[in-house]
Copies of this chain bind each other. A is one copy, B any other.
Amino acid sequence: MSKAPLIALLTDFGMVDPYAGILKAVISKISPGTPIVDLTHEIPPGEIMRAAVYLWQSRAYFPEGTIFACVVDPGVGSARRGIILVSSGQTFIGPDNGLFTFVMTPSDKAWEINNQEYLLPQQSVTFQGRDVFAPVAAHTALGVEPKSIGRELSQLVHLDSPKLEFTPEGHMAGETLFADRFGNVVTSLGKFVKYAPQRYRFEPWIPFQSSQADLTLFSPDDFVLQLASGEKLLWVNTFSDLDKGKCGFLVGSSGLIEIVSYAARAEQLLGLALHEPLILKRSGK
């Protein structure tokens, strides 16, 4: 079994222009033979929150030692720093703009990239993915230590947390995050980890304080999901349980509540936008 690390790429470069291909060229030139996996290059331009959630959803499925080179970087060329973050045996490289908010923990170490030796000799202002992040990822794959590439940092930029809290009435309040390819609307409500058939334990995916006692047990079929419009959705086990044109909610593949339909786009059927408030409540209430 190969022990060579894998480099995963996440950018908002799209697939039309040669930018994503050039990242792979730079990596292949410095570190030939290192496997490269495209996580996605189609983050909508500048949507750091979406990229940060995707990293959270994906990272545990990658091997230990994976190096994530991440370039969603609307502030490229400004004073924002480039960083290397080591977290749970994986390495994250990219701009210090909050991209790594949902993968990092307080005990993780991070470094600011500033050793010119590991960058391309000519550096543009506008394409630091090519000139900085790809070469640093490739040198990291070759075994260069982060401390050789920069100075240790004590504080990184964090995104504001999406809404996830208890209401005074004891309901769980959250918000819509984004719609995926199929029109499923991923929400901030979760995560819910299955521990028995139709029984889920609540393990908040973002910082969460509560003094309530009954957090650790959860059975989704006792609940309804109330939209900002007042409409209430029922829990379903899977897409095909829904009648044509109807929407429901389920625990998605990352443990977050998703609003879904069957062979149709829930996002469109319900006219849902981003950051719409949601309430998850017991059906009896």
Interface residues of A in 11-67 (CB under 8 A from B): 12-22, 24-26, 28-29, 32-33, 35-46, 54, 57-58, 61-63, 66
Contact A78 B37 (CB under 8 A): no
- Stretch from A1-9, A165-173, A211-219 forming part of the interface with B: A1-9
A245 interfacial contact with B, CB 8 Å: no
Contact B126 A253 (CB under 8 A): yes
Interface of A (DSSP majority class) = loop
A181 interfacial contact with B, CB 8 Å: yes
Instruction: Produce 1/0 per residue, A121-134, CB < 8 A to B.
Output: 01011110011000
A141 interfacial contact with B, CB 8 Å: no
Q: Which of B25, B32, B238, B251 contacts A61 (CB 8 A)?
A: B25
CB distance from A213 to the nearest CB of B (A): 26
Interface residues of A in 170-192 (CB under 8 A from B): 180-182
Contact B25 A125 (CB under 8 A): no
CB distance from A10 to the nearest CB of B (A): 8
Instruction: Produce 1/0 per residue, A221-260, CB < 8 A to B.
Output: 0000000000000000111110000000011110000101
A109 interfacial contact with B, CB 8 Å: no
Find the B residue at minimum CB distance from A181: B14
Q: Which B residues are CB-close (under 8 A) to A251?
A: 124-125
CB distance from A121 to the nearest CB of B (A): 11
Q: Which B residues are CB-close (under 8 A) to A15?
A: 15, 40-42
Categorize the interface residue count of chain A: 35 or more
Q: Give complex CA distance A14, B237 in Å.
A: 23
CB distance from A137 to the nearest CB of B (A): 14
Q: Give complex CA distance A162, B10 in Å.
A: 34
CB distance from A263 to the nearest CB of B (A): 6
Contact A262 B74 (CB under 8 A): yes
Contact A8 B21 (CB under 8 A): yes
Q: Which B residues are CB-close (under 8 A) to A12?
A: 181
Find the B residue at minimum CB distance from A46: B263
Contact B77 A25 (CB under 8 A): no
Contact B18 A40 (CB under 8 A): yes
Q: Give complex CA distance A126, B241 in Å.
A: 12
CB distance from A163 to the nearest CB of B (A): 22
Q: Which B residues are CB-close (under 8 A) to A38?
A: 20-21, 24
A76 interfacial contact with B, CB 8 Å: yes
Q: Give complex CA distance A220, B26 in Å.
A: 28
Q: Give complex CA distance A12, B263 in Å.
A: 12
A-B contact pairs, 7 of them (CB 8 A): A15-B40, A20-B38, A25-B61, A28-B62, A75-B240, A78-B238, A122-B193
Other 10 A-B pairs with CB < 8 A, given A24-B37, A29-B63: A10-B21, A13-B181, A15-B15, A16-B180, A18-B39, A21-B58, A25-B61, A25-B66, A77-B239, A122-B194
